[in-house]
């Protein structure tokens, strides 16, 4: 069944300049967030890239990843956690809509981003403030053409959440269950959504595309055609095969070493068995020698006892003769 993911809603808490829980609703169409430099427009794009798995602080205009957590202001204390949630909805057919985040003059900080249509609602103060919504023709994919993805069934509602604590611990949550970043990336990559894909385009990236070489531009076309996912899978499969070959080589080395040890142990076992057999033979011969010696000693003892008895008899006779002679 063909599946596309559409960004319906985003919730931000404690990410950069967003102190309270802020909700962004993304209806159909194209929404532009317009404002002066420094008002936090690019933080919206950074939040989406961050929750999609961005790992480089420099891509988020930060020195460290902990810098994305709200650092406090004159009236508000710093927070200990940043959280961003993206709510996706499955679509069988549809046209991707874009959210243009920028200052409108093309000379901002270089992080203006095309994302999805949005109506911003600040829930901290209970004020709903829709932003300017200019409709721009030709920015999306041409026509509601169906795209077929050879993927397994994806839930009707997909909620991706990322949390970061000041202690450095990070959590990824998919539909309310903790998971790995790879699980989220695998799920979103099947629908051409990710931090490295053209679903999120910075202003600097547009300049790179316009000035890129044909070989570099081809990667973008392959990504748009859905070939990049298969190439990534092929590279992953090749990496797994290479790792398997390395494991087989290690197993062969271990088997060879074990065979050598087995041969040595066999020789040692044969020596041990021969030693045990010789010990048993020596023990038997020692017992036989002791038995013979005991028999000889018994014979000598019997001869000595007989001689002693004979001497007693002779002594008694001599004493009788001596008594007769004295009488």
DSSP letter for each residue of 107-138: -SSS--EE----EEEETTTTEE--------TT
pTM metric for this prediction: 0.56
Contact between 28 and 133 under an 8 Å Cβ cutoff? The reply is no
Instruction: Report how far apart, in Å, the C-alpha atoms of 34 and of each of 41, 78, 100, 104, 133 are.
Output: 8, 27, 8, 6, 10
Question: Which token pair is 44?
Answer: 């919206």
Q: Is residue 297 scored above 70 in pLDDT?
A: yes
Question: Which token pair is 73?
Answer: 């202001």
Q: Is residue 96 scored above 50 in pLDDT?
A: no
Contact between 160 and 54 under an 8 Å Cβ cutoff? The reply is no
> Given this model, what pLDDT does residue 153 score?
62
Q: Is residue 286 scored above 90 in pLDDT?
A: yes
Q: Is residue 149 scored above 60 in pLDDT?
A: no
Q: Is residue 42 scored above 70 in pLDDT?
A: yes
Q: Is residue 213 scored above 50 in pLDDT?
A: yes
**What is d(CA 306, CA 289) in angstroms, rounded to the nearest whole number?**
26
Question: Which token pair is 58?
Answer: 């420099």
**What is d(CA 256, CA 17) in angstroms, rounded to the nearest whole number?**
61
> Given this model, what pLDDT does residue 185 score?
78
| DSSP H/E element including 178 | strand 177-179
What is the four-CA torsion angle of 244, 248, 251, 253, rounded to 10 degrees? -130
Q: Which range among 114-118, 147-151, 213-217, 295-299 has the greatest average pLDDT?
A: 295-299
**What is d(CA 64, CA 69) in angstroms, rounded to the nearest whole number?**
10
Q: Is residue 128 scored above 50 in pLDDT?
A: no
Average pLDDT on 270-284 reads: 94
| DSSP H/E element including 89 | strand 81-91
Report phi then psi at 162, rounded to 5.
-130, 135
Strand ranges across the sheet with 170-174: 127-128, 119-122, 22-25, 4-13, 81-91, 157-165, 170-174, 177-179
Q: Is residue 300 scored above 60 in pLDDT?
A: yes
**What is d(CA 84, CA 111) in angstroms, rounded to the nearest whole number?**
19
Q: Residues 45-73: pLDDT tens digits?
A: 888 888 888 888 887 888 888 889 998 88
Identify the sign of the CA torsion 307, 310, 314, 319. positive
31 strand-pairing partners: 99
Q: Which range among 42-51, 93-102, 122-131 has the greatest average pLDDT?
A: 42-51
Q: Residues 240-265: pLDDT tens digits?
A: 999 999 999 999 999 999 999 999 99
**What is d(CA 143, CA 137) in angstroms, rounded to the nearest whole number?**
11
**What is d(CA 276, CA 278) in angstroms, rounded to the nearest whole number?**
5
> Given this model, what pLDDT does residue 204 score?
66
> What does the mean pLDDT of the chain come to?
76
pLDDT band for position 196 (50/70/90)?
A: low
Which of residues 16 and 144 earns the better pLDDT score?
16
Which of residues 40 and 253 earns the better pLDDT score?
253
Helix axes 227-326, 214-225, angle to 10 degrees: 80
Report phi then psi at 170, rounded to 5.
-130, 145
């Amino acid at each position: 069944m063909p599946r596309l993911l559409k960004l319906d809603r985003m919730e931000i808490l404690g990410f950069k300049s967003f102190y309270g829980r802020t909700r962004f609703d993304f209806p159909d169409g194209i929404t532009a967030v317009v404002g002066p430099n420094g008002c936090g427009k690019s933080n919206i794009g950074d939040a989406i890239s961050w929750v999609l798995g961005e790992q480089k602080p420099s891509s988020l205009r930060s020195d460290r990843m902990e810098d994305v957590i709200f650092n406090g202001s004159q009236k508000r204390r710093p927070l200990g956690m940043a959280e961003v949630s993206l709510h996706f909805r499955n679509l069988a057919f549809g046209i991707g809509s874009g959210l243009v985040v920028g200052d409108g003059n093309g000379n901002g900080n270089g992080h203006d981003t095309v994302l999805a249509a949005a109506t911003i609602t600040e829930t901290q103060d209970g004020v709903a403030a829709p932003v300017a919504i200019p409709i721009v023709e030709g920015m999306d994919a041409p026509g509601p053409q169906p795209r077929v993805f050879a993927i397994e069934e994806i839930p009707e509602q997909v909620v991706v959440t990322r949390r970061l604590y000041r202690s450095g611990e990070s959590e990824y949550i998919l539909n309310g269950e903790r998971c790995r970043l790879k699980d989220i990336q695998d799920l979103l990559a099947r629908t051409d959504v990710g931090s490295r894909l053209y679903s999120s385009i910075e202003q600097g990236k547009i300049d790179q595309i316009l000035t890129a070489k044909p070989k570099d531009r081809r990667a973008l076309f392959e990504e748009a055609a859905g070939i990049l996912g298969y190439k990534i899978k092929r590279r992953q499969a090749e990496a797994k095969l290479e790792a398997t070959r390395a494991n087989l080589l290690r197993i062969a080395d271990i088997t060879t070493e074990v065979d050598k040890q087995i041969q040595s142990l066999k020789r040692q076992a044969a020596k041990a068995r021969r030693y045990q057999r010789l010990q048993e033979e020596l023990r038997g011969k020692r017992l036989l020698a002791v038995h013979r010696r005991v028999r000889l000693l018994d014979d000598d003892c019997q001869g000595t006892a007989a001689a002693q008895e004979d001497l007693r008899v002779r002594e008694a006779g001599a004493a009788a003769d001596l008594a007769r002679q004295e009488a």
